Amino acid sequence: MSEKFIVKSRLRDYEVCFLEDINSTIEHYANINSFFIIDKRVMDLFGKQISCKLTGERTLIVEAVEQNKTLDYCTGLIQRLITANVRRDNCLIAIGGGIIQDITSFVSTILFRGIEWVFFPTTLLSQSDSCIGSKTSINLNEYKNLLGSFYPPSKVFIDINFLKTLPVGEIKSGIGEILHFYFNDGSRLAREMMDSYDNILKTPSLLEKYIKASLKIKKKIIEIDELDKNERNLFNYGHTFGHAIETISNYSVPHGQAVTLGMDIANFVSLRLGYLDKNVFEDMRKIMSRNLPTFRINEDMIDDYIRALSKDKKNMGNNLGCILTNGPGSMRKEYVPLNDELRDLILAYFRVNT
């Protein structure tokens, strides 16, 4: 029997369902003239298993890479949909992770001024985080997630079985995002999950409990502040420093692990600015340490990193808009000058923690 809950949204409320077998659900949408946008890797692994009907011009296979989150790529997809005779009463079905979600949701919000879309998240990160919240985001040149809107799906269907084939790196990426929610909330599940780290990497189905808890934390906040004006801002914890890590590593560091590193950097900055007790800093680092990537910034890279931080869309003037912390469950929005002091602080972090 499926488990479900409703997310309240400004535009429309939507249902999130946990299913053990999504085949019949996908087949239902294939039978009602839907258009599918599917991650190539998912299609290669599950194409025959999912449905024999996902063929022809109504199925668009997409490489789920950050470089495809652009206006040009989305325009190309829209042209393919138009050629395939898409109509405003059709539905777009996204099957994949966060990149497929971003592309499909962005196309959905601008095509015919809004077309219905449904999401089948297949990665840990998308199942535990991005599948709810309504954000559509694509990149513009070197600016990450600069373009977008708030346009929720009509339904989300989660099948944990997709996690069985994920590379370990993608599991670690999702764990980083889940950790970020637990630290935001002050949840004891952060320590519990990381104590089971090895078992989780071997048996991803163990993550179902942690996925549901992560979504519960996010749901509570987005129903208060869907448009990210107040409380939801705190979910940027780890992301400001993490996005810049992604940029200068040319996305070789997976998003969630970049966020893990971003949280540790934010904690170090919080410690040095007097917001965070040293014992709390060390305890939080101990919890997340096994999920930290090996990527490091040295003297030759620091200016590129500061430049990447300077392009963050949350900045005000020459100040970095970021979320710092007093400890788990106590985040704070701060504007830190983008100057030599911050540069030296970040270099100090990597010297101390290398």
CATH code of the domain in which 142 resides:
3.40.50.1970
- Are residue 185 and residue 225 in the same domain, yes or no? yes
Neighbour-count burial of 83, counting CB atoms closer than 10 A to its CB (0-12 exposed, 13-18 middle, 19+ buried):
exposed
Which amino acid is residue 230, in one-letter code? N
- Last residue of one domain, picked from the residues 165, 197, 214: 165
| Residues 176 and 142 placed together within one structural domain of the fold | no
Structural domain count of the chain: 2
Q: Residue 353 above 90 pLDDT? A: no
3-state class (DSSP) for residue 211? helix
What is the pLDDT, as a whole number, of residue 10? 95
Q: What is the DSSP string of 145-198?
A: EEEEEE---SEEEE-GGGGGGS-HHHHHHHHHHHHHHHHHHT-THHHHHHHTHH
Find the domain containing 201 and state its range: 168-352
**Over residues 137-152, mean pLDDT:** 93
- Residues 299 and 262 grouped into a single domain: yes
Confidence of residue 23 (pLDDT cuts 50, 70, 90): confident
Q: Report whether pLDDT(155) > 90.
A: yes
Clarify whether residues 142 and 260 are in a common domain. Answer: no
> Which tokens sit at 210?
């942690």
Confidence bin at 33 (pLDDT 50/70/90)? confident
Task: Indicate whether 189 pLDDT > 60.
Answer: yes
- Alpha carbons 97 and 32: distance in angstroms, whole number: 23
- Shared-domain flag, residues 8 and 103: yes
| Confidence band, pLDDT 50/70/90 cuts, at residue 181 | very high
DSSP code of 236? G
Domain endpoint, select from 165, 189, 208: 165
Of 94, 78, 74, nearest in space to 34 by CA: 94
Here the CATH number for the domain that contains residue 338 is 1.20.1090.10
Query: Quick one: pLDDT at residue 5?
Result: 97
Same structural domain for residues 156 and 287?
A: no
State the Cα–Cα distance between residues 167 and 203, nearest whole angstrom. Answer: 12
Both 266 and 160 in a single domain? Answer: no
In this structure, are 159 and 208 located in the same domain? Answer: no
- For residues 137 and 197, membership in a common domain is answered with no
Under 8 Å between Cβ of 266 and 244: no
Domain boundary among 165, 181, 209: 165
In the predicted structure, residue 55 carries a pLDDT above the cut 90: no
Same domain membership, residue 108 and residue 77? yes
> Rounded mean pLDDT of the chain?
95
Q: Are residues 110 and 215 in the same domain?
A: no
Q: Would the pLDDT of 176 be above 70?
A: yes
Residue 44 shares a structural domain with residue 181: no
Q: Determine the pLDDT at residue 354.
A: 62
